[in-house]
Amino acid sequence: MEEEIKRMKREKNAVILAHNYQLPEIQDIADFVGDSLELARKATQIDAKKIFFCGVYFMAETAAILNPDKEVYIPSEEALCPLAASLDVDEMVEIQEKNPDALTVVYINTRAIAKKYADAVCTSANAPEIVCSAPSQKIIFGPDSNLAYYVKKKCPDKEIIVVPEDGHCYVHVFFSGEDVEKARKKHPDALVIVHPECPPEVQEIADYIGSTGQMVKLCGKLNANKFLIGTEREMCYRLKKLYPEKEFIPIREDAICKQMKKITLKDLYESMKEEKYLVEIHPNIAKGAKKAIERMLEGW
């Protein structure tokens, strides 16, 4: 299958993008592996007719919105993000109407329809930068409440209204302060890096907080040989490939995003062979969402 995938990639003028949480065999065959921000940027720089996006659906949507002249496929229709689905657009619009002086920043982990009603999109890598530089003191932010906590600490002058109030990633809320302390006790010589979707109690005791892309940079530049990683466990595979001389230990072995794992090598092979499942977005939704995504890439 790997050889066939490589052959079809050449024949179809296609590229494979994969998120850091994908299965190792998917990461290995991808042309580019990265976090949400890196993949969004990469999608606009690709000179290819077809993009096969190995991630969850909102990521493939973002690539399709930014590349209307390309065909974007997702290898499994079941690769959906519960966090993205948790933002109720009607609720968000209602809050916007009650706060006409606010700007709306939505996490990239949202459906295209939510992005249409936003002023800007952010990722976990650039959320503080987008919010702090927004030309409004009041920000409507959703859907991850833990990321909102992280942003608020970085942007203390901003008033942040979180929608929904309890939005979260089910993988990252697994982590507790106790998990971190247990791991530290076992590995006292390790540095702790956690994702900003982790609960506040975990953020407060970590050595560093960052997106998966920021984790890649941190682990490369920090003068340490052992790291405890607080995010989806496949991130450790990516880090080990990049820095084989260093040790990466997941704080929780059971931190698994089931939706990311919906895409297998067989799914990718069949998607490329049959050219299924094409990501299609209504032009009106795509137009509005594109403005918010471009603001993320270009600034206010």
Residues 23 and 87 in one domain: no
Alpha helix positions (H), the chain: 2-11, 24-29, 36-43, 57-66, 82-85, 89-98, 112-116, 127-133, 145-154, 177-186, 200-205, 212-221, 235-242, 265-274, 283-298
When pLDDT is averaged across residues 117-127 and rounded to a whole number, the result is: 96
Dist. CA 68–CA 242, nearest whole Å: 33
Identify the CATH number of the domain in which residue 230 sits. Answer: 3.40.50.10800
Residues 268 and 231 in one domain: no
Residues 148 and 224 in one domain: no
Listing DSSP states for 137-177 in one string gives SEEEEES-HHHHHHHHHH-TTSEEEESSTT---TTGGG--H
SS3 31: coil
Name the domain count of the chain: 3
Q: What is the pLDDT of residue 217?
A: 97
Residues 68 and 197 in one domain: no
Residues 68 and 8 in one domain: yes
Average pLDDT value over all residues in the chain: 97
Residues 101 and 128 in one domain: yes
Which sign, positive or negative, has the C-alpha torsion 63, 116, 134, 92? negative
Each residue of 198-248: pLDDT tens digit? 999 999 999 999 999 999 999 999 999 999 999 999 999 999 999 999 999
For residue 106, the cross-strand partners are: 121, 142
Q: What is the pLDDT of residue 238?
A: 97
Cα first-last separation, the chain: 44
Each residue of 249-269: pLDDT tens digit? 999 999 999 999 999 999 999
Which of 102, 155, 146 minimizes the C-alpha distance to 128? 155
The CA-atom distances, in angstroms, between 173 and each of 42, 115, 163, 165, 176 are 29, 24, 17, 14, 7
Q: Model confidence at 40, in pLDDT bands (50, 70, 90)?
A: confident
pLDDT at 36 over 90: no
Element (H, E) at 188: none
The CA-atom distances, in angstroms, between 203 and each of 146, 197, 291 are 9, 9, 32
Q: Model confidence at 37, in pLDDT bands (50, 70, 90)?
A: confident
When pLDDT is averaged across residues 45-71 and rounded to a whole number, the result is: 95
Residues 87 and 162 in one domain: yes
Dist. CA 229–CA 70, nearest whole Å: 35
Residue 255 belongs to some domain of the structure:
no
Q: What is the pLDDT of residue 34?
A: 95
Each residue of 14-34: pLDDT tens digit? 999 999 999 999 999 999 999
When pLDDT is averaged across residues 65-87 and rounded to a whole number, the result is: 96
The whole-angstrom distance between residue 3's C-alpha and the CA centroid of its chain comes to: 29
Q: What is the pLDDT of residue 265?
A: 98
The angle formed by the CA atoms of residues 66, 67 and 68, to the nearest 5 degrees, is 110
Dist. CA 292–CA 176, nearest whole Å: 33
When pLDDT is averaged across residues 39-55 and rounded to a whole number, the result is: 92
Residue 91 belongs to some domain of the structure:
yes
Each residue of 147-193: pLDDT tens digit? 999 999 999 999 999 999 999 999 999 999 999 999 999 999 999 99
Cβ contact 183:211 at 8 Å: no
Residues 201 and 275 in one domain: no
Q: Residue with structure tokens 């050889």?
A: 3
Residues 39 and 106 in one domain: no
When pLDDT is averaged across residues 2-16 and rounded to a whole number, the result is: 97
Residue 131 belongs to some domain of the structure:
yes
Residues 180 and 233 in one domain: yes
Residues 19 and 154 in one domain: no
Q: What is the pLDDT of residue 163?
A: 98
Q: What is the pLDDT of residue 18?
A: 97
Dist. CA 255–CA 7, nearest whole Å: 34
When pLDDT is averaged across residues 41-67 and rounded to a whole number, the result is: 94
Residues 63 and 189 in one domain: no
DSSP 281: -
Each residue of 81-116: pLDDT tens digit? 999 999 999 999 999 999 999 999 999 999 999 999
Structural domain that includes position 242: 172-250
Q: Model confidence at 138, in pLDDT bands (50, 70, 90)?
A: very high
